[in-house]
Amino acid sequence: MKNLNKLIIFLSLTIGVLITFLPFVYMIVCSFKTNAEIYTLPISFIPKKFYLENYHRLFTEIPFARQYFNSTFIASVQTVLNVFLASLGGFGFAKYNFKLKNFLFIFLLVTMMIPSQVGLVPLFLMMNWFRWIDTYWAIIVPGAVSAFGIFFMRSSMMGIPDEILDSARIDGASEFGIFSKIILPMSTASIGILAILTFTGSWNNFMWPLIVLSSDTKMTLPVGLTTLMNLYKIEYGMLMAGSFLSTVPILILLILVGQKAFIRGITVGALKG
C-alpha cells in the first residue's frame, strides 16, 4: 500500500512537470518554424524544416544583442545592490535595538501591501525631475532595495545566535567586520534565494521599463520583444526565438546558484530543527 501511494505521488508529480514543461518545449519548437507553419493545423511538435532565419533576423532587424546586454547589466546591478542593502537593513533590524525600531519595521511591512502601480506616476515625476528618463538609472535606482528583501534577510538573520556576535566584538571585530565576515557567510542560503528572486524579477520587469525607456538601444528584452508585435503582423517565429534566448540566463542562474542555495537552506533548516 505504501509503495502504491509513492507510485501515485511520483506519477502525479511527473505529469505535473510534463504539463508545465510542455509550453516551454513548444516555444523552442516554434522558434524553428516559419510563421505559416506555426499557424498550420494540426499542431506539429517537429518542424518540417528547421528555419534558422528567425534567429538571424532577430539580431539584424532589431537591436536584440544590445537589449540583451541592457537586461543583463540592469538585472545584475540591481541584484548586487538589492542583496547588499537588504542584508544591511536586515542585519540592523535583526541584531540592533534603536528608537522606533518596531514602528519602522511595521511601516516597512505596510509598504509591501501597497500595489506597485500606485507609485508609478509619482515615481515617474521623480525620475523626470532627476532627468533620468530613458537612462539605466531610472530602472536601477528604484529597484536597488526592496522591503521584501529587508524582511526576508531579517527573518534569516534572526536565527544567528547573538553570542557569536558578542564573541567577535570581544575579539575586537568592527561592526562591519561582523557583518561581512560572520553574518554574510552564515546567510549564504538566504542570499542565494534573494539573488535569484531579485534577478528574475528585474529580468522579467516590463511595466516600469516600458514607461521610462523610449530608445531602442536602451530597452530591455521584455520591452524590446514587443516591437515584434504590431497592428498588422506579429512575428511569432522571431518572438519565440527571442523568448527562448531570454530564458537562458535564468536557467543558468537556477542551475549554478539556485540548486546549491535551496539545498543549503534545507540543510540549515533541518539542523536547526
Residue 234 DSSP code: B
- Flag whether pLDDT at 70 surpasses 90: yes
Say what the pTM is.
Answer: 0.84
Domain boundaries, the chain: 62-228
Phi, psi of 229 (to 5 degrees): -115, 120
- Residues 227-272 pLDDT 10s: 888 767 778 888 888 888 888 888 887 777 656 655 555 444 444 4
**Is 62-228 in CATH node 1.10.3720.10?**
yes
Query: For residue 162, what pLDDT is reported?
Result: 86
Out of 24-33, 144-153, 197-206, pick the least confident.
Answer: 24-33
| Interval 3-25: pLDDT, tens | 777 788 888 888 888 888 888 88
In our burial notation (b when 16+ CB lie closer than 10 A, e otherwise), range 70-88 reads bbeebbebbbebbbebbbb
Continuous H helices in 31-146: 35-39, 53-61, 64-95, 101-111, 120-129, 137-140
pLDDT tens-digit readout, 18-69: 888 888 888 888 888 888 888 777 777 788 788 888 888 888 888 999 999 9
